[in-house]
Each structure stands twice: as C-alpha cells, then as structure tokens.
Structure 1
C-alpha cells in the first residue's frame, strides 16, 4: 500500500505508523490513496521528519524522536501551537496542515503535518546566485533580521498565545535557570566541571545590568542563520524553522542570539555554514541598525541580550560535551561544541568590557 523511494522510510516511520497515519488522514479528508515517495527529511534535529505525497499533494510529518524523551510530546505540541498562531501573521514559516494531539495514533507520539517549503538552508548549501553575489548574501543576512523583527512585532495575545508561556519574570529567571542546568552536568562522573571561562563573572554582570522592563512577545529561542530557509531565486527568508525552543519571553533575546553566533571567532561556520564560508557578511552593528529600522523595540541594551545569549547557548552546548565524555554522544561533536562554548564566553567577556 505504501510506495517508497530508494531511501528506506522505515528509518523514520514503520509500516504500522504509515497505516495509522493513512487512517488518521482519511478521517480528516486529507487526500486519498496510498502514501507515496515516503522518505526521511534530514536536518540538525533529533526529531523525526518525513516527506510524502498523497493525492497529488506533498506533506511533511514531524514528531518526536523514535525513542521518546520525557518532554518530546510537549515540544511537538508547542511547535504546532506556534505554527497555528503564525498563520495569522506575516512571519515566514511552514504552513501547518493538521496536528494530532492523540498519543495513541503513532505509538505514543503526537505529531503534525505541514506544508513543504521550497527553499534551502544556507548552513548546508549555497546555490547561485547567492554563492557568487556578495550583494545577495548581504541581503540574505538582512532578511534574517527582518524575519526577527516581524516575529517580535506579533501581538502574542491577539494570535491566541496568551497562555503559551510565562513572560512575567522571564529575564530574572534566565541566569539561575541556566546555572542550574550547568550544575546538572555533575551527574556525569566523567565530566570534570565547567572549565569554560568566566561563568560566575558573566552571571554577576547579567544580574547587575539586567533591563528593568521589557515588552513580552514570541521568542523563537534558537534563532541563528541555520534555522531559516531561503528562496532559491531571491535573497529572502521563506521560512523560520525549528520552533522547539519557542516561548513567550523577550524577543530581543533572538536578536542577541543571532549576534552571539555571528561569525564567531574559532567557530566561524558553526551556525551559518556555507553562508559564513563565502564571507562578505554584514557586521553586527549593521544587523542591529537593520533591526532598529524594522522594529519599535528599544535596543539600548542589545549588548546585554547578546551576553545572555552567549551565556545560555554556551551552557546548552556544554551539555553535549558532558554527554560525550559519558559516552552518550560522539566525542568529535562534544569537543567541537565545547570549543564553541569557549568562544561564546570569550565573546561575552569582550562585550562586557566594551570591546
């Protein structure tokens, strides 16, 4: 009943999954006939993604990893909730087709179907004219900032996300939340402790310089150059992807995240890949100026948000190193990300000192 291409769809979906998915789609009038050309969609996520065709229409399925983690379903629910809300906005994203909140359909996993996006990830590839035209590449980068500004301008209450996160005290929670995460790595006996730079100094500086007020909005949570897809014909973002860390918080942290990961010394292509290797990118100052043109948000504390992004992301990446030392992740990946953590804390210290 299920037609597959040369890639074994069983790598991501079993025959039982496909049968259950077909019945679920039948009940909702989502096409008819067999699921054709079922194949995995690769990417930098551990969640399962598969593309297939049915009745002349293409679909992308996304669910948690094959071996579900405690929060896997919660993450997927957050993703399809945000995609549903974004349909009412001008933020570029993959359109949500339908979501399944019933864990029994796919053996314990909730899932959703979304529209395929015609575009490319510049962290992986850079076709012409983007590769050969520096003006195109600069405009690609400004398009990332434009997408951030659009997201930050969304009234989250008006699009139905009034109860989606906990915006009260969001900034105050950040430092203790991530220090606690760093402390948790002590559970891996092989981890020698966080030899990653001035953690306590950065934490203290963040507490002392924290903005006293902010305007809540949708926060993507991992907004860097490899988490967007670009048009093949224009220097424009056609979709922001990987919404698994989204919440209601301070959207300026997304801008700080982009600046923290931008052309990072020692890890120049960790977050932008081919785009960074081609060069000719705007400076951080130019990115901030573009955001200021597109947003009404006060950017006086942009360095603070960038330092917070360095702090948070560095601690997140250090977790991969701790797991690698415990044999739970490839050591090559752990060491690479540990090096990136060192560079992030170097950048934080430079910003704190006004360099």
Structure 2
C-alpha cells in the first residue's frame, strides 16, 4: 500500500467479512480511508491465485462501464507479499445482501420488493450489454463453441463424482434426458459477452436508499460466454408461483412482491439487445449445470470432504432443479 500511494500508517478497525465462497475478505481502515481486501481461501488450491487474477482483470475492466460493482483500488499478484496468496483491494459497498437481510423502512413493502427484483435484472441486462472487447477483455474467455461445450463438459463432471468414496452415483432424476433435449434444441446463434457465471439474488448488494443494485459481487466464475445463461441461472432458482421461497432459501423470496418470471424476462428484454425467445432453453441448461455443480458437494460430503448436512441440502436442491428442467421441457 505504501508503494501504491494508498495512505500511511497502521491498519485499524480490521474485521473479517462473511458470505460468498471460501475466499477470504476483510475490511479495514488506513489513513482515514476504508478498504476491503479479498484473497483466496486459507488453504490455497492449485488454481486459487489464477482465479483471483481473473477477478482482478474483470473488475478493472468493469471500471470502464456503468455495471454496478465494487470498484477495484489496487491488485497484487506477487505471491510473496501475503503468504503465497494473490489479493486485491476494493472499495467497500454501501449496501446489503437481500438474500439475508431486508432493512426496515424502504424494503418492507411489496411495491419496493417488486421494484428491487426488477432492479436486479436491470443490473444483469447492463452487464450483458458491455462490449467485452472494447473494455479490454478480448482474450478473457473462449466464447467459440461455448454452448456446444456445456452438455459434454458437465456430464463429464457428473461422471467424475463416482471416483469419490461412498458416492453411489447420481440419484437426481432423468438428467440424461435433459442432456439429450439440450443438445437437440441448442440455439443456433448467439452473441458473446461477459458472464457472471453464478448470478442470483445472493450475489448482489442492494442500495439502502433505493430499490436498486449497488453492486454485483462474487465474480470467481466469470468468463466470456453467453450472457443469457446468467438470466437462465437467475430464473432457475427463482420462486415459482405458490412457492414459499426460492431454491436458495433467500430472505427476499420469502415475502410478497417479487416479480414473476415473465415480468423479469420482459424487463430484461426491454433493456437488452439480446433475443430472449429461447429463454426456456437457457433455464433448462442452468438447472442442468447448477444441479451438477451442487451434486459435487453432496458427493464430496459422502467422502468426508464437505459437511454432510450441507451435502444433503444441496442434493435436494439438485433433484428439484432437475425436476424444474423436465417440467420446462414438457411445457
């Protein structure tokens, strides 16, 4: 921080921040300015620093856009500085996570909750409209063949879980049928752009003073792909009519006022140049892909590599995602 001209003196008011994935975050103040530090997990994995480097690149690029995000202050890929971990500093976000909190006041009425849901999809549409090459991300991902790779990539991932001890194989519904349907109905044309990769209500911070998104957070799965998969991902978890909550159990979804799926898609379409006519396909792909990702935690829990309670909960979500995919296909 001295070398980067970021104040002087000691770090004070240091506090660990929770939420997100296994990556570690801490807030602190130096020389009267507040910062948030983000680094990989305590036990760094082989790709931890590379993944964080991608986040740094992405956040730097987003600084040239109107996409709401935590502004990058400085980054450090020198692994000798912080016990082998790459890290970066970002501006703190003045907001709250609607998946776990709904502040008293503006967020208490169905009308403001409805507007917030639309605000979330507005932020996503804004991300999907960014010209990734113009902001310096031309080589950030492999968009060629992105949709064609999805089904074989994730079927292979599902098959790999059988190598873990005590995993009996996937008892999650007719996932093979879903895979065949996806291959048959894959859109023939799409436009590449920035994908968040794990977009849903838990990965945004909302403003305290208005029902709008203050920042999209947790960019570790970002790439250049088909941004409509982000919309499908959000909808794959969204609470259906009559549901008490969405599949992630977010607090926001447990109160009246949330927009319907049809409203979200229409709102996105109004603010996007993308053709949403194949949105059912993207929702089915999201259910398929997310379900397989979550099933991995269940498989690892049976092998003693993840908490059993978490594994069982996510295994149930996977089954429900496959059910949603099959219902969407049939309708």
Question: Normalised by the shorter chain, which TM-score bucket?
Answer: over 0.9
Q: Deviations over 1:88-147 (max 9, x none)?
A: 101000000000011111121110000000000011110123442111001110011101
Q: What is the aligned counterpart of 2:15 among 34, 39, 44?
A: 39
Aligned to 1:294: 271
Q: What is the aligned counterpart of 1:281 among 230, 238, 258?
A: 258
Q: What is the aligned counterpart of 1:154 among 130, 150, 158?
A: 130
Please say if 1:262 is aligned against 2:238.
yes
* Contact 2:244/2:253 (8 A) holds in 1: no
Aligned to 1:107: 83
* Contact 1:226/1:272 (8 A) holds in 2: no
Q: CA deviation at 1:150?
A: 0.4
Paired with 1:231 and 1:219, the residues of 2 have a C-alpha distance of 22
Please say if 1:63 is aligned against 2:39.
yes
Pick closer, same or farther for the CA change 1:100–1:269 going to 2, 3 Å.
Answer: same
Q: What is the aligned counterpart of 2:198 among 198, 207, 222?
A: 222
Q: What is the aligned counterpart of 1:342 among 301, 319, 322?
A: 319
Q: CA deviation at 1:267?
A: 8.4
Please say if 1:327 is aligned against 2:307.
no
Paired with 2:294 and 2:98, the residues of 1 have a C-alpha distance of 21
Aligned to 1:318: 295
1:1-355 correspondence runs (5 A): 25-263=1-239, 268-271=245-248, 273-354=250-331
Paired with 2:263 and 2:40, the residues of 1 have a C-alpha distance of 38
The normalised TM-score by structure 2 is: 0.97
Count of residues in Structure 1 that have an aligned counterpart in Structure 2 = 330
Q: CA deviation at 1:41?
A: 0.5
Pick closer, same or farther for the CA change 1:328–1:267 going to 2, 3 Å.
Answer: farther
Q: CA deviation at 1:304?
A: 0.3
Q: CA deviation at 1:279?
A: 2.6
* Contact 2:244/2:254 (8 A) holds in 1: no
Aligned to 1:14: none
Q: CA deviation at 1:269?
A: 4.1
The normalised TM-score by structure 1 is: 0.91
Q: CA deviation at 1:266?
A: 7.5
- Which ranges of structure 1 fall in alignment gaps of 5 or more residues? 1-24
Q: Deviations over 1:300-326 (max 9, x none)?
A: 110000000000000000011011111
Pick closer, same or farther for the CA change 1:159–1:43 going to 2, 3 Å.
Answer: same
Aligned to 1:19: none
Paired with 1:131 and 1:279, the residues of 2 have a C-alpha distance of 11
Q: CA deviation at 1:75?
A: 1.1
Please report the RMSD computed on the Cα atoms of aligned residues, expressed in angstroms: 1.2
Q: CA deviation at 1:44?
A: 2.9
Q: Deviations over 1:152-182 (max 9, x none)?
A: 0000000000000000000000001101111
- Which ranges of structure 2 fall in alignment gaps of 5 or more residues? none
* Contact 1:64/1:76 (8 A) holds in 2: yes
